[in-house]
Structure 1
Amino acid sequence: MDQQQALSLQWAFGFSSTISNGVADLTDKVVYVAAHTAIIYDRIEKQQTVLQGHCNLITCLCVSEDKQLIFTADAGEDAMVVIWEAASGQPIRTINSPHPKGIIAMDLSRDGQQLVLLSAATTDGEAVEMEQEISLWDLTDEGSLETPVATGSVPAGDVQTCIHFSPEFNSEIISNGKQRVYFWKTNLPFSKDFKYYSPPVSARDFKQSIGDFTVSVFIPGTTLAVTGTVDGDVVVWEEGHMMEPGSRPPDRRAVKILRIHFASISSLVIVDDYIVSGGADGNVRFYDAKLRLVAWFDDIDAGEVTSISFASHKMQQLRDSTEEHDKFMAPDFIVGTSKSKIVAVKSDSFERVERVKSGELVLEGTFDAVLALATHPMRSEFVCAGSAGLLWLWNYSTKHMLMRRQFEKLRGCVLTFSPDGTRLAVGCTNGSLRLLNPNTLEDVQAFRFTTGSIVQVAWSPDTLSIAVADSHNYVALITYGHGKFGDKWEYIGKYGTHTGRVSGLSFEGLGAQTRLFSVAEDGLMVEYDVPNCSVDGGIRLVSYADIGRAAAMPTAVCLAPPTQKTASGGPLIITADNAFKFRTYDSATQTCKKTVLGPTYGGPLKNLNVFQTAGRDDHFLAYATPEKVIGLSLLPLDGDPSKAMGLIAHPGEITGMAVSYDGRRILTVGGKDSIVNMWGVDVSVLESHAKAEKQSNPYMSLIEGGEGGEFYGEMKDYFYYSQIHSQGEETTAPRQIDGQVVLAEVPNLMRALGYYPSEYEVADMLAELQGEAAEAGQPAPTHVDFTRFISLYVNHRPVFGVGKEQLQAAFAALGADPVTGVLDAEDLIQAVTQEGEPMSGAELEDCLLALCGATQVDECLPPSLDSKQFAEEVLGFEDYAQIA
């Protein structure tokens, strides 16, 4: 593990099996794509070398003929092509942003001197917004790869998905989409443009239907090319006639169609003078230049073939080593399949008299979207659930799959082990809850009490209670004990306590002291009376409180470490919300104790996990955002940016995160990318970084312009003025400037700096200061110094200013017309003076006159207005459309 990283990728389970030719043979090693990472797997040492650098999903991979260089490319914003040294796994060259949306396909010329790129037309399912391009790059130039040597535009109408060089002429290239095949030609150095020809093909010509095209290659030593189809056919293209140099590419025409597979052809590769095909039927077949079948491997039995790659030695070397020239000979090869398996196949197995299952399993992973993940509390095991109803149980120390189970008509979406590791709870999308034996994945008991999907499952510390939340925002309770039907799990009931999605469930305490809390996006925190809940009496509540702050919705919840307790000895509850804040609550009084700035990258947090690492008594916080980012933070939370870190764990959605039982690993799943990543944890790196960055005020880096900047100067000026203002402005008495302002001035200071806290938020700030003093055994504070004021400002102010969407949402909440967005002025005035934290009539009048520069209130508001008018005519925003 890299000692310079708090989180480092130790292992990737699975590979991107849907990428055509996303696996390449490096002889004793294999390189493959795993989401936004490429992996070199040593088949002898059973070790992975991680090639990290892409932020987006890698879309294509290719390897040089000598197996010395690896090329990877991705699609999305800031896409790039990276050239890696295979021996070391280090990047040696990059092509930054070669096309606006990245790359969908690429190929390397046989001599390794040129690279052709085919641009992506879409990203993440977006509509096609721009035409595709192909570009040719000269790799012999030792300088930076900034511009291509030739470019061409793909005609609109059929998105191209595959591209290949001619094995004999770098000037000839073939590409195809579902309906069209293009033959491209360059005439370097005389022209930097591509010329193309797209031959027509009709079902009428061949008296049979022609399926969508999949992949195309040239046949070496001939003037032919072939294109595979989803029907298992290949269309053979023949050169029509010779053309003069510099003219358009030679015309091609479809001359015949041959059926070579019983399902879609997913891979076509050239090895010496063989054409090798792989199909969705799971078979690999060898054909000669005349498309005569030479050898077939129909017993690999590992799923649909998506990749075929050959070892590095040449055919001629094989032929020179034997006198049996009529014998089928080919290099050994690697096959990647849709079942996320990589299989090594020895070509001489074709000649065996007794045919057995071909191939040796190199590795395997999950092969559909992974919806959930959980780690065993006592063993080096994790379980994950796929969108097709599969459960996989893995040992993450040995990197082996232990077992799997296929659910019929069920999809697990929430997984949680009991604290003692004896049970596995599986929440399903159809509302059922299964309790399984984690050693066998067999059912122990099943429940169905909702028609909604399960969204949260939590176990009590004594493993005698299970809380479940569903997509209808109900919270249900299941307990184990002496019930009507003996010692077994019994469903107690459910309670519609929330109107928003339940963000988290947390148990605390044992036996008669067991407490259950739920927090939801409606801003409510609810405590349940677990000891007094029963089958007859149902679920009982202890209390509920509105903890919404400035319309912030809690998105993730966890209990603070046991070392952090309330004054009454109860637990503290940590929430993360869509305002990018961490808030800590007293579970007894359900009041906010502290508000600090959270990570602002990757979206509002969706997963929080407090954990310990083996051999240490202190605790740490792991977090995950809905997309891309996971990270660590030191505890207690204080908003210091040097005490937290984050990194891109997956190129898209993160559907699960779990910490190993010893706290030394974090496992994450990437949903549609089907990859489970295991990260090594080294909290000492984060501690060292925080110590090195420690300064008198660590929040300066979060202020616009930093210390010494213009805004910092304004803060100092306002702070100094507040000290004068609190002592009276019209006086000749000596001033007592002691570097502190009275607490009553704090709200005015915030507003002067552009942050307008509600009275509710002001109360939170004052309560936070008083709580700090009480914990330190000091009297309630009456003043605050400049350093503490800056931390209050940074931690409490909104991360983003008021924008167009917020204004529209506010008008909608006040009763604006749902179609026009228009609100009556009387309704606006009534809401401001009577709802929420009401303003008095005099306060409202003062504000309107100051904003509008008018002398009469009637001049400030028209009879009705929408959010745009309010922004421009009342608030004075110059360009409403440009509001962030």
Structure 2
Amino acid sequence: CNCRPRARCSDHCVGLLLWVTLTGPLFHRIPVRTIFESHPEDGVGAIAISQDAKYLATISSGTRVCVWKWTSPTEKPMCSTELKPEFGYQDYVIFNPQNPYEFVSNSKTQVIFYLWFLGKGVLCSLECLGTFKSTVGRFSQSVFHFNNLQALTGTSAGKLVVWDTVGPHIPSRELRAKPHSVKAIKLVPIQKDSLTVLKVFESCIVTGDVKGQVKFYDGQLRLLACYSHSKVGSIQSISFSKTPPDPSDSSNSVSLTLNRNFILSTSDATVLHVATDRANFEKVMEEATKAVNAIACHPREALIAVGSHCGLLKVWDYQQHQYLVSRIFPKAGIQCLSYDPKGYFLAAGFTDGSVYILDAISLQSSCKEFKFSWGPVTHISFSHDSEYLATADEKYSVTVYKRVWRNGRRCWEHLAGLHSHYKPIRSILFGVQLDSNKPRLLSLGEDRQLVEYDLNSSSKDHLVVLHRNRVEQIAVPLCLAWYPQLSTESFILTANNCYKMKLYDTTTKMCR
């Protein structure tokens, strides 16, 4: 399930169990089972699958814990229980690899162990006790030890809490839960930095931390190896390859584990491949860490450009589902994007008021960035002949750029700007003059003003207004578009906050 913690999934699903098959260059994911309405009140907050791949454990964003046999056609869980609200939001859950009838979950402040019984419909939660003489920190993830009955939990203080049972490991036949049967027996400080990931992989215990370090320990928590890179952010997940690069290199199981290559994902939305033989960190992919506010489609190719507030610009082939090229702008966030009608340029407007005109294929700058806007750029658009570029910003201004000949080559230069509105600009729109093939430019603001500019008469640092018309009396206009040319008449279409659309004659600006 793609639900984020505390977010609601529209289908309230447990998630899709996916089989991945390779048919050519692309991955095709085939869902084999979907459980709907698993946690309809709160949505799914955490999920785990047992080692034998038969059972699912889910925890709602509230307090309900369920165990499912996903191969069963029923839409009801095999067993469930309600947690006490003081246990906190349980955001991580994992099965005991050696026992599918036992699993553990944790919140930032509480660790809970569970036992469930096949055919009995009973799920017992075992509260954990721990009294510590030093700072523990907040819990991150928990795992079961690979060669004993203990469990471990990583903390933000760089420590591992070791849990063990103080009573019978399996409850009696009456299935009476034994509260307080698990307690912390040891607190092991292993480093100063916060632990974010804790895994058991074969005969090693593996940790990941906020500094991007991955460390391997043996069963006695003795350090075996450490992998780090200065440009790796806080680690969110670790996944190991199935086989070591060369199994013949060592006969020792620990050495074989240490030779496994692995994949990291980090909090800055980066995925890296780590080759253990060379300690080489290779970036596999990078995604946006902040909101995606800008999308533009190429006018001639099956390409889509996506820009985010973290400054990441990516271009995808949406037919082949392939990522093609990206560029990061570290100083500001991307607010708007536009391809020119010929598909040669991609223009981007940024939160710091700067404007970049890029090559549409390589994303390299076609010229030095412009910074003539009064505030963050909100809208950007090319004219139909790719000779003009216009932007609107949060300071109610319109700025125009023009392609010119300079030193025997075509380049872009700043033409002029104008503080043309006194409320936010909702649209800027290029069109074509009726009596010629020259471009015309309009802007629409929440001040109810439709402004048309005279590009022919405009000169360096002087943007001329041709017409200024009030298009609403009470309602607030929200967007502007050209109406399709269905007859000899030409119209502009607007929509307002009163759920109405209006047609205006492009010459007289009168409402049809």
Q: Same fold (TM over 0.5)?
A: yes
Deviations along 1:104-152, whole A, 9 cap, x unmatched?
A: 111112223322111114xxxxxxxxxx221222346x33122441222
Q: CA deviation at 1:378?
A: 5.5
Task: Output the CA distance in 1 between the equivalents of 2:95 and 2:273.
Answer: 26
Q: CA deviation at 1:514?
A: 2.8
Please list the CA deviations of residues 550-581 of structure 1 after superposition, one character each: whole Å capped at 9, or x if unmatched: x65443333244x43543xxx43333444555
The equivalent of 1:116 in structure 2 is 57
1:573 aligned onto 2:483 = no
SS of the residue aligned with 2:73? Answer: coil
How do 1:596-607 and structure 2 match up within 5 A? Answer: none
Aligned to 1:103: 44
Q: Distance in 2 between matches of 1:385 and 1:555?
A: 23
1-structure distance, mates of 2:298, 2:449? 31
Q: By percentage of residues, which structure has more strand?
A: 2
Q: Identity of aligned pairs, percent? A: 27
Q: Is 2:311 aligned against 1:389? A: yes
1:372 Cα deviation from its structure 2 partner: 1.6
Alignment correspondent of 1:337 = 266
Work out whether residues 415 and 457 of structure 1, in 8 Å CA contact, stay in contact via their aligned partners in 2. yes
* Pair 1:590 & 2:499 matched: no
Partner residue in 1 for 2:365? 442
For residues 600-619 of structure 1, the aligned pairs below 5 Å read: none
| C-alpha contact (below 8 Å) 1:134/1:154 kept by paired residues | no
Q: CA deviation at 1:531?
A: 1.8
**Structure 1 residue 377: Cα displacement:** 4.4
Aligned 8 A contact 2:312 2:326 in 1: no
1:59 Cα deviation (Å)? 4.0
Task: Kindly provide the CA deviation profile for residues 248-276 of structure 1, in whole angstroms up to 9, marking residues without a partner as x.
Answer: 24533333333446643332223334322
User: CA 1:309 to 1:327, structure 2 compared with 1: closer, same or farther past 3 Å?
Assistant: closer
The verdict on how the C-alpha distance between 1:230 and 1:591 changes in structure 2, with shifts beyond 3 A counting, is farther
Cα distance between partner residues in 2 of 1:468 and 1:135: 53
State yes or no: 1:242 paired with 2:164.
no
Partner of 2:137: 211
Rounded Cα–Cα distance in structure 2 between residues aligned with 1:325 and 1:512: 77
Judge conservation of contact 2:67–2:80 (CA < 8 Å) in 1: yes
What letter corresponds to residue 117 of structure 1 in structure 2? T
TM-score, structure 2 length as denominator? 0.81
Residues 418-427 or 90-99, more deviating: 418-427
Amino acid at match of 1:414: C
Q: Deviations over 1:195-253 (max 9, x none)?
A: 33132344xx13xx332211111113312211112343322223334376223245333
Q: Letter of the 2:379 partner, please give it.
A: Q
**Cα separation, 1, equivalents of 2:252 and 2:106:** 36
Q: How far apart are residue 516 of structure 1 and its match? A: 1.5
Partner secondary structure for residue 533 of structure 1: strand
Matched, 1:286 2:216: yes
Q: In structure 2, what residue type is equivalent to 1:517?
A: L
Contact 2:143–2:151 under 8 Å retained in 1? yes
Q: Which of 455, 458, 463 is residue 533 of structure 1 equivalent to? A: 458
**CA distance, structure 2, for counterparts of residue 487 and residue 170 of structure 1:** 66
**Counterpart pick for 2:378 among 455, 458, 466:** 455
Q: Cα offset for 1:512?
A: 8.1
Mapped to 1, the partners of 2:32 and 2:167 lie a distance apart of 43
Q: CA deviation at 1:86?
A: 0.4
Q: 2 CA distance for matches of 1:259 and 1:386? A: 39
Are 2:430 and 2:439, in contact at CA under 8 Å, matched by a contact in 1?
no
Alignment pair present for 1:254 and 2:184 = yes
Q: Which residue of 2 aligns with 1:753?
A: none
User: Which secondary structure does the structure 1 equivalent of 2:280 belong to?
Assistant: coil
Cα 1:300–1:312, aligned 2, differ >3 Å: closer, same or farther? farther
Q: What is the CA-CA distance between 1:482 and the residue it aligns to?
A: 9.0
Q: TM-score, normalised by structure 1?
A: 0.49
For 2:327, the aligned partner's letter is R
Distance 1:495 1:185 in 2: 68
| Preserved CA contact (<8 Å) 2:3 2:9 | no
The whole-number CA distance in structure 2 between the counterparts of 1:456 and 1:557 is 12
Measured in 2, the distance between the counterparts of 1:364 and 1:476 equals 33
User: Whole-Å Cα distance in 1 between the matches of residues 67 and 137 of structure 2?
Assistant: 30
Answer yes or no: is the 8 Å Cα contact 2:425–2:445 preserved in 1. yes
Deviations 1:784-808 (A, max 9, x none): xxxxxxxxxxxxxxxxxxxxxxxxx
Give the Cα separation in 2 of the matches to 1:134 and 1:253: 21
User: Would you say the 8 A contact 1:432–1:454 is kept in 2?
Assistant: yes
**2:79 pairs with 1:135:** no
2:456 alignment partner, SS class: helix
CA–CA distance in structure 2, aligned partners of residues 585 and 535 of structure 1: 31
Q: Aligned with 1:530: secondary structure?
A: strand
2: CA distance, partners of 1:557 / 1:497 = 15
State the match for 2:351 in structure 1. 429
1:450-599 → structure 2 map (5 Å cutoff): 450-480=373-403, 489-497=413-421, 499-509=423-433, 513-535=438-460, 538-547=463-472, 553-561=476-484, 563-567=485-489, 571-579=490-498, 583-593=502-512
What is the match of residue 152 of structure 2? 226
Do structure 1's residue 182 and structure 2's residue 112 form an aligned pair? yes
**SS class of match (2:15):** strand
Query: Separation in 1 of the partners of 2:143 and 2:101?
Result: 14
Across the two proteins, how many residue pairs are aligned to each other? 491
5+ residue gaps in structure 1? 1-53, 61-72, 122-131, 594-884
Tell me: CA distance 1:480–1:239, structure 2 relative to 1, closer, same or farther (3 Å): same
What residue number does 1:58 align with? 3
Q: Which runs of 5+ in 2 are unaligned?
A: 22-28
Residue by residue, what CA displacement relative to the aligned partner does 1:805-840 show, whole Å, maximum 9, x if unpaired? xxxxxxxxxxxxxxxxxxxxxxxxxxxxxxxxxxxx
> Partner amino acid for 1:97?
E
Alignment counterpart, residue 92 of structure 1, candidates 32, 37, 48: 32
Amino acid at match of 1:335: L
Following the alignment from structure 1 to structure 2, what is the Cα–Cα distance between the partners of residues 500 and 440? 30
Query: Aligned-residue CA RMSD in angstroms?
Result: 3.8
Quick check: 1:402 aligned with 2:328? no
Structure of higher CA gyration radius? 1
Aligned in 2, Cα 1:367/1:195: closer, same or farther, shift over 3 Å?
closer
Q: Partner letter of residue 232 of structure 1? A: G
Alignment-mate amino acid for residue 520 of structure 1: G
Shift in alpha-carbon separation, 1:184–1:398, aligned structure 2, 3 A:
closer
SS at match of 1:419: coil
The 1-side partners of 2:16 and 2:325 are apart by 36
- For 2:146, what is the secondary structure of its paired residue? coil
In 1: Cα distance, 2:350 partner to 2:328 partner: 14
Deviates more, 1:87-96 or 1:161-170: 87-96
User: Residue type of the partner of 1:274?
Assistant: C
Give the deviation of 1:362 after TM superposition. Answer: 4.8
* Residue pairs, 1:849-868, within 5 angstroms: none
Give yes or no for contact 1:493–1:539 (8 Å, CA) kept in 2: no
Query: 1:81 aligned to 2:4?
Result: no
Counterpart of 2:201 in structure 1: which amino acid?
Answer: V
Which string of whole-angstrom CA distances, capped at 9 and with x for unpartnered residues, describes residues 138-168 of structure 1?
346x331224412222333632211122223
SS at match of 2:459: coil
By percentage of residues, which structure has more helix? 1
Match of 2:24 in 1: none
C-alpha change, 1:400 and 1:259, in structure 2 (3 Å) is farther
* Other-structure match for 1:328: 255
Q: 1:214 to 1:470 in 2, by over 3 A?
A: same
The structure-2 alpha-carbon separation of the partners of 1:156 and 1:508, relative to structure 1 and needing over 3 Å to count, comes to farther
**CA distance 1:487–1:74, change in 2 (3 Å):** closer
Matches within 5 A, 1:460-859: 460-480=383-403, 489-497=413-421, 499-509=423-433, 513-535=438-460, 538-547=463-472, 553-561=476-484, 563-567=485-489, 571-579=490-498, 583-593=502-512
2:294/2:308 contact within 8 Å kept:
yes
Once residues 144 and 581 of structure 1 are traced to their aligned partners in structure 2, the CA distance between those partners, rounded to angstroms, is 48
Q: What CA distance in whole angstroms lies between the structure 2 residues aligned with 1:109 and 1:488?
A: 60
Of residues 250-259 and 110-119 in structure 1, the stretch that sits farther from structure 2 once superposed is 250-259
